[in-house]
Structure 1
Amino acid sequence: MRLLILCILVALSASVGTAVAPAGVLPKNSAEQFELAFWNSIKDSKQAGDYEAYLQAYPKGRFSALARARLQQLKAAPPQAQAPPQPAPGKPAAAQGQAKAVAKPQPDKSRAPPAPAATPAPGPAGSVATIKDCDACPVMVALSPRPFTMGSNNSDPSERPAHKVALHTPFAIGKYEVTVGQWRQCVQASVCPAMPSLGNVPDNLPMRDVSWDEAQLYLKWLSTVSGKPYRLPTEAEWEYAARGGTATRYWWGDQMKGGNSSCAGCGEPWNAERPPPVGSFTANPFGLNDMNGSVWEWVQDCWHSTYKGAPDDGSAWVDGSCQARVIRGGSWRENGSYMLSTTRFKYDASVRQSQNGFRVARSLD
């Protein structure tokens, strides 16, 4: 009898272990493992939108009952008192309050045509030249492409096969992820939706809780304001930029090392509730910040479960239904095993999730 009980306990223990820990760096390519990874990424969240996103994707999922209970609990909780607005860098809080009291409506300068300026030509591969097309535009880094190996044969199946990609067109990509302050300018122009979850979030945090479809609204607005064709980076451009000219697992080497990215257990600054301000960690060799961790970043490509048949010229892979789009780079809620330059995942293009953001790109030809 004791032996039978012991066997049952061992079996239960094994099943519990399987239910809470995804295998490998990323979940294996199956619906069950993707759902498990989704749940593990939000199970400690205090954002109602995260549980709504889970239920939209998995209305009859394994954790749907728990998600509904958490959602009901969060919506029933009394609203918390909002923190006072953060003072702008270099400006005393008192001065900000005075300015707010006497401020009058100002014309939307972001709609004015940008002053003509020559776009700096990117230098040799790996060199850094910054671009800022207009007052409202994010700072970008201009890159000259060269062939590189994309993906990995030693990690998750979705990253296979490792393959040569020959990028031919110079492009620019955001030095940082799009920030809350930059998104708010689009909201003020009545183009982008206001996000209730932002509240009094400081302007210098990365914008998140935004769907792929909503990111397109920002890009169209920015293209109109700047006169330049802004877009999301292709998945190949993103990985080329994230690697920073390296061929190692991370841009800093083959071993995880704290202090290089915003992720759980990867060093300060870190906060369980939200990512740190953009640029809080060292830039990679191309001068790009927060490619690893911070927030997952949307790219242009549709999701494919492997790289078999992927374009070899760095263009976006957009055949198929495209209901799911690719996100890259991990977020501050994941641990260091998600910070690899090859890490990729998928998300429904129309769904918001509090870990998902983006950075801008445009071609320079």
Structure 2
Amino acid sequence: MWHKLLMVGVLASSAGACCAQAQTRMPDMQLAGVVPRNSAEQFELAFWESIKDSTHVSDYEAYLKAYPKGRFAALAQARIARLRAAAPGAVAAPPRVKEAPARPAPTTATAAAPAAVPARTAPAKAGAEIKDCPACPLLVSLPAGSFTMGNNASDPSETPAHPVTIGAPFAIGKTEVTVQQWNACVTARACPAVAQPAGTTATAPVRDVSWDDAQQYVKWLATASGKPYRLPTEAEWEFAARGGTATAYWWGAQMQTGKANCKECGQPWSDAAPASVGSYPANPYGLHDTSGSVWEWVSDCWHNNYKDAPADGRAWDGPNCRVRVIRGGSWREGSAYMVTSTRFKYDASVRQLQNGFRVARSLR
């Protein structure tokens, strides 16, 4: 039944000449390609494509919250009713939103360093590990340095590739913030309690947290440690994630299995949850899970591309900004999202099951 309802929504938004073709290939259809890129319709279609096979009531509730009169609203309501009937004792999780863009599979061109700007890497290796307080995440100190941010052969939002200079050393989380570390803030009554799925371990990355939630955490961490904790800027995040490399992935020009926690990155992998932090190899700077695991909030406001982006590594903010950048992909994404330049956006107040973060602080 839901396949038929989905077909109605797709046909309603497509030209009549496309109907027969859409009907024959609907189950594998890439919905984001039906409408103009970065349009409101594209985001709705990409959202639905990302949840249409979900077994979680909250995913469909999130769709209805974002698109109460959307083209798949009736189907979402039907799915909710069916799932609740199958599990009458289940309690729905807080609403969450997923807006994943369609992303082309990596190609040889994508794997190469951007040709328009000479690749420049950091001149020094990562430094010491830092532990500022018992509850603080372990940090790795990184040197100042220059690199090429973005990718001219990938998603348009990653263009233009441009030189960035990080003028001062800084420290960034060796891993994403864990459930245990988040709960220390909850115990201190400085962070909201965010329910994690059943079976989540203390060493799993905390997820379903918003940008606003992450801001509460870094504020508490700064008070607890006496150090200037914050979210990394987008430029700092990519500088750290590249680990001094200039290739599409921190491990090289081509995708390799066993390097990241994603659905096409090799076993072990589970659709239900990401692995514990640090389960996969670290990049050359000693940082784990910069590709896959959970999407990571950074401090910057979302811009559709890097035109006029700052070249000094500072956060690129904006007035009354409510849409913030997330980086790195998640365990539910495929290998195309593991490219180090991958970026997307979320409303700062929205909690989503695939979103987490890592912390940073200045060293001066």
What TM-score do you get using the length of structure 1 for normalisation? 0.80
Q: Distance in 2 between matches of 1:80 and 1:172?
A: 42
Q: Which of 84, 88, 104 lines up with 1:78 in the alignment?
A: 88
Which residue of 2 is the match for residue 173 of structure 1? 172
Matches within 5 A, 1:78-97: 78-79=88-89
Distance 1:28 1:172 in 2: 36
> Structure 1 282/214 Cα, relative in aligned 2: closer, same or farther at 3 Å?
same
Instruction: Write the distance in 2 (CA, Å) between the matches of 1:33 and 1:126.
Output: 41
CA distance in 1 between counterparts of 2:61 and 2:214 reads 19
C-alpha separation in 2, matches of 1:64 and 1:8: 21
User: Contact 1:173–1:362 at 8 Å: present in 2 too?
Assistant: yes
CA gap of 1:265–1:190, structure 2 versus 1, over 3 A, is same
Matched AA of 2:30: V
Sort the Cα spacing of 1:281 and 1:11 in 2 relative to 1 into closer, same or farther, 3 A: closer
The 2-side partners of 1:334 and 1:69 are apart by 26
Asked if the contact 1:53/1:352 (under 8 Å) is kept, the reply is no
Q: Aligned residue for 1:263?
A: 262
Task: Answer yes or no: is the 8 Å Cα contact 1:132–1:140 preserved in 2.
Answer: yes
Gaps of at least 5 residues in structure 2 are 1-16, 92-121
Inter-partner Cα distance in structure 1 for 2:127 and 2:139:
10
State the secondary structure of the residue aligned to 2:256: coil
Distance 1:325 1:8, change over 3 A: closer
**How many pairs were matched up?**
315
Q: After superposition, where does 1:21-40 map in structure 2 within 5 Å?
A: 21-22=31-32, 28-40=37-49
Structure 1 CA distance, aligned partners of 2:64 and 2:318? 27
Match for residue 116 of structure 1?
Answer: none
**Residue in structure 2 matched with residue 12 of structure 1 by the alignment:** 23
TM, length-normalised to structure 2: 0.80
Flag the structure with larger Rg: 1
Instruction: Provide, for residues 64-97 of structure 1, a one-character-per-residue CA deviation record: whole Å limited to 9, x for no partner.
Output: 333333334444523479xxxxxxxxxxxxxxxx
**Unaligned stretches of 5+ in structure 1?**
1-5, 82-122
Task: Show the counterpart of 1:155.
Answer: 154
Contact 2:126–2:140 at 8 Å: present in 1 too?
A: no
Tell me the alpha carbon deviations over residues 246-265 of structure 1, each in whole angstroms, 9 at most, x when there is no partner.
Answer: 11110111111110001012
Q: 1:217 to 1:241 in 2, by over 3 A?
A: same
Q: Following the alignment from structure 2 to structure 1, what is the Cα–Cα distance between the partners of residues 296 and 217?
A: 14
Identity of aligned residues (%): 62
Q: Is the 8 A contact 1:29 1:157 kept in 2?
A: no
Q: CA deviation at 1:150?
A: 0.4
Q: Which residue matches 1:48?
A: 57
Is contact 1:128-1:287 (8 Å) kept?
no
The aligned counterpart of 1:65 is 74
Post-superposition offset of 1:7: 8.9
- Do structure 1's residue 322 and structure 2's residue 333 form an aligned pair? no
Q: Work out whether 1:278 is the aligned partner of 2:277.
A: yes
CA offsets 1:224-276 (integer angstroms, 9 cap, x no match): 11111111110000111111111111011111111000101211221111101
